[in-house]
Amino acid sequence: MSTKYVFVTGGVASSLGKGIIAASLAKLLQARGLRVTIQKFDPYINIDPGTLNPYEHGECYVTDDGAETDLDLGHYERFLGVKTSKANNVTTGRIYHTVITKEREGAYLGKTVQIVPHITDEIKRRMLLLGKSGNYDVVVTEVGGTVGDMESQPFIEAIRQLQWELPDEDLISIHLTLVPYLRAAKELKTKPTQHSVQMLQQAGVHPDIIVCRTEKVLPEDLRRKVALFCNVKPGHVIQSIDAPSIYQVPLNMEEEKLDQMVLNHFGMKEVPEPDFTKLEQFLEKLQNPKSEVDIALVGKYVELQDAYKSILESFVHAGAANECKVNVHTIHSEYLDEENVAEKLAPMDAVLVAPGFGERGLEGKITAIRYARENKVPFFGICLGMQMCVIEFARNVLGIADAASAEVAPNSANPVIDLMDDQKSTTIKGGTMRLGAYGCHIEKGSLAYRIYGCEEISERHRHRYEFNSRYLEQMEAAGMKASGRNPETGLVEIVEIPSHPFFIGVQFHPEYKSRPEMPQPIFCAFVKAAIEFKANRK
């Protein structure tokens, strides 16, 4: 059987959850035993989102093979439980880079290189690439941006061409739109959807299914109206209603028969019924918590929820595993100081200090860590959060008052966090950090060993600076242990304070590998520690 391609575009507004719909459909097809992968095409000109501030597009997600990607790849991995790679996220920048490199090599000698056909050919090649591997029955492609944007036009044009080049039963196009509810008129409005589909059709792409994002139930007559005006089959207009959890969306889509419509279109009749046992078990626990904790997430990108997407999702998974509702309170590190730290952190059952870059908010992070260390509040530091707990310890326990990170104090006399050796000659910023999966050897008897239950682990990284091992002996003598090291280079990957009930800092990003059906061990243990801390409060 030939590989089947699903294209998901979006209209009316951004942030409708196109990634969730695409991932939900992929999940439904996977639950029926099909081999499914999913990829994202992003219309911006950056080669990858690695150089973007999280305020632009939210968190940068990192894959095992070290690609810095769009956060939707995180949803794909979490929903499908499979690993994605560099090939699963393509940007306009990457497309142009390939075409321009080929042009310089002389691949188009004598020809004018144009958007159509050269750029669109390269887009199509990438759209079909994963399917050509023979590893998948279905490839779901999400096109970023909103139909009508200048940037996404070449992608829409590529889908238009593919609609003619592939057999009808090998390609299906799904369009996600918004049907707003006007409170004053007490009405759901379909006009924006009609306009969005018109725009898509003007570009030559005909949607086979329209998914309407809505906060109220979309009644049958409105579905028929959308179908009539948008020229799709009456049954092919479905709703995606606001859900209490994103993990509920695959089940909602199944109820709307989205997978059935797609399979019918593909002529796939002999596909087994889906098995959702594990997802349902997860949702059952998520929706029926037996306890509740308050956890502080101290960071500087707190205004934007998406900036810490994977961390927030990891708490959802770890919360369900502990049958506990985790209330995450984001606390702006820039406004945290000695004066207000107790007031802000005293109500918390645990403190997580987030990853990040640059100087802004660093001192607030250090203040939060000192509070957690001295008051024996469970503490978990990730990447920059780990680096700051090393600085806090050096300053306040070892008495090295000017201990600093070379990232913000390049001439510091005591760089307890220093630039990694192989970073010293790096001048290019894009894609040059220590990225992707690295092994870590855990010392037996440590907190990390009790958490992971094994000595060899692998986690994903994204950083340039490291624990400066020149200070290791002093640190260990004073009570901060390096319990995890890279087996090849000896880089310190995990630090902990054994005299504290739960104090751990990790140089890697464990949040990237947490899944609803396979929650990340440190997050699980951290939530458990928060539950215990709360129980022992006076």
Q: Which residues are catalytic?
A: 383, 509, 511
Amino acid identity for residue 311 in this structure: I
List the one residue out of 524, 520, 483, 521 whose CA is nearest residue 500.
483
What SS3 string covers 484-515? Answer: EECCCCCCEEEEECCCCCCEEEECCCHHHHCE
Tokens of 534: 């709360």
The mark string for 383-402 relative to ligand GLN (x by CB under 6 A, - otherwise) is: xx------------------
- Cβ proximity to ligand GLN: between 162 and 384 the closer is 384
**Which region, judged by CB under 6 A, interacts with ligand GLN, from 116-124, 159-167, 282-290, 456-464?**
456-464
- Cβ proximity to ligand GLN: between 42 and 407 the closer is 407
Instruction: Decide: is 459 part of the binding site for ligand GLN (CB under 6 A).
Output: no
Cβ atoms within 10 Å, residue 183: 7
How far apart are CB 380 and ligand GLN at their closest, in Å?
13
The mark string for 113-152 relative to ligand GLN (x by CB under 6 A, - otherwise) is: ----------------------------------------
List the one residue out of 457, 471, 310 whose CA is nearest residue 387.
471
Pairwise CA distance, residues 350 & 362, whole Å: 19
Tokens of 242: 């606001």
How far apart are CB 71 and ligand GLN at their closest, in Å?
14
Instruction: Decide: is 465 part of the binding site for ligand GLN (CB under 6 A).
Output: yes
Instruction: Decide: is 482 part of the binding site for ligand GLN (CB under 6 A).
Output: no
- Cβ proximity to ligand GLN: between 58 and 355 the closer is 355
Query: Which DSSP state fits 466?
Result: E
Tokens of 74: 């995180």
Specify the residue for token string 């993990």: 247
Cβ burial of 323 (10 Å; 0-12, 13-18, 19+) is middle
How far apart are CB 62 and ligand GLN at their closest, in Å?
9
**Which region, judged by CB under 6 A, interacts with ligand GLN, from 112-120, 320-328, 337-345, 459-467?**
459-467
Pairwise CA distance, residues 166 & 365, whole Å: 54
How far apart are CB 46 and ligand GLN at their closest, in Å?
18
**Which region, judged by CB under 6 A, interacts with ligand GLN, from 169-177, 186-194, 230-238, 458-466?**
458-466
How far apart are CB 226 and ligand GLN at their closest, in Å?
44
How far apart are CB 57 and ligand GLN at their closest, in Å?
16
- Cβ proximity to ligand GLN: between 460 and 481 the closer is 460
How far apart are CB 377 and ligand GLN at their closest, in Å?
21
What is the chain's length?
A: 538
Contact between residue 379 and residue 389 where contact means Cβ atoms under 8 Å apart: yes
Pairwise CA distance, residues 319 & 22, whole Å: 25
Instruction: Decide: is 464 part of the binding site for ligand GLN (CB under 6 A).
Output: yes
| Cis amide prior to 347 (ω within 30 degrees) | no
Would you put residue 30 in left (φ > 0), alpha (ψ -120 to 50) or beta? Answer: alpha
- Cβ proximity to ligand GLN: between 94 and 462 the closer is 462
Contact between residue 68 and residue 84 where contact means Cβ atoms under 8 Å apart: no
- Cβ proximity to ligand GLN: between 226 and 296 the closer is 296
Site for ligand GLN in 177-196 (CB under 6 A): none
Tokens of 65: 């093979």
Site for ligand GLN in 490-519 (CB under 6 A): none
Instruction: Decide: is 300 part of the binding site for ligand GLN (CB under 6 A).
Output: no
Contact between residue 502 and residue 379 where contact means Cβ atoms under 8 Å apart: yes
How far apart are CB 298 and ligand GLN at their closest, in Å?
13
**Which region, judged by CB under 6 A, interacts with ligand GLN, from 153-161, 241-249, 344-352, 457-465?**
457-465
- Cβ proximity to ligand GLN: between 247 and 301 the closer is 301
List the one residue out of 331, 386, 380 whose CA is nearest residue 525.
380
Instruction: Decide: is 407 part of the binding site for ligand GLN (CB under 6 A).
Output: yes
* Residue selected from 18, 40, 175, 462 as contacting ligand GLN according to rule CB under 6 A: 462
How far apart are CB 384 and ligand GLN at their closest, in Å?
3
Cβ burial of 332 (10 Å; 0-12, 13-18, 19+) is middle
- Cβ proximity to ligand GLN: between 262 and 435 the closer is 435
* Residue selected from 213, 223, 309, 463 as contacting ligand GLN according to rule CB under 6 A: 463
Site for ligand GLN in 341-370 (CB under 6 A): 355-357
- Cβ proximity to ligand GLN: between 136 and 357 the closer is 357
List the one residue out of 278, 276, 6, 36 whose CA is nearest residue 133.
36
How many degrees, rounded to 5, is the angle at CA 526 between CA 387 and CA 444? 75
Pairwise CA distance, residues 300 & 239, whole Å: 36
- Enumerate binding residues for ligand GLN (CB under 6 A): 355-357, 383-384, 407, 462-465
